[in-house]
Amino acid sequence: MLHFSKITAKSKDFHLIASGALAFKIHNKILKDEDFMKGAKVTRNLLPNNAVIKSDKSEAKVFFVIISDLDKMNASNLCSMIAKERAKGSYAVCQVIPMYYNEPSFKALKMLRHNFDEVIELNKLTLGGGKALISTEQQHCIITDYSISMARIVRNVCVNDHAAAKEKEEKKGQIVYA
């Protein structure tokens, strides 16, 4: 299942998509974060993996996709939807949290790299001296914090770029007399 949310703020849409159990938990934490709730309208949908998100406008959008169970999902439909959106000028970031390293995962990851602007793969985390974190709960906690921070950055750039462009357009329309 794809968990799809559209967060609208300052008349700019930020699309958040999650696939997989851990990705869904991160998705929910992102939506509960107060930075995303300030003056924003949130629309949530639950779609089967093979569903295509219908585009209502032809304007450029920003997508942040989190995938945790890569080997279990059908990435081709998601990739084709993202490719169509990118053709319209949209920007798409994908964060992959690999659970297993097997052939279907490697093929899906290759497909994601070809269709997204940025693909960030979070491997097993290490701290300081190179020792891997033993507890999966610690890893999930750090991955969640990282994901929320990443989503904030992508969303803030999306909203601020739009606001700056709008201000420039308004200034162009004003005539200044000396």
The 10s digit of each residue's pLDDT in 92-141 is: 999 998 777 788 888 888 999 999 999 988 875 555 555 555 566 666 77
Query: How large is the average pLDDT for residues 144-167?
Result: 70
Strand 62-67 and strand 91-96: the pairing is parallel
Task: State the average pLDDT for the chain.
Answer: 77
Where do we find the tokens 């997508």? 63
Instruction: Enumerate residues 6+ apart whose C-beta is below 8 A from 17.
Output: 2, 3, 4, 5, 63, 64, 65, 66, 78
User: Helix 75-87 to helix 103-115 angle, to the nearest 10 degrees?
Assistant: 10
Long-range CB pairs of 140-146, under 8 A, 24+ apart, other chains included: 140/22, 140/25, 143/22, 143/26, 143/97, 144/25, 144/26, 144/29, 146/122
- Reference 91, options 63, 56, 57; nearest CA is 63
User: In angstroms, how far is CA 96 from the centroid of its own chain?
Assistant: 10
Three-point CA angle 59, 63, 68, nearest 5°: 160
Q: Is residue 26 over pLDDT 50? A: yes
Query: How far is the C-alpha of 52 from the C-alpha of 55, rounded, in Å?
Result: 9
What is the reported pTM? 0.76
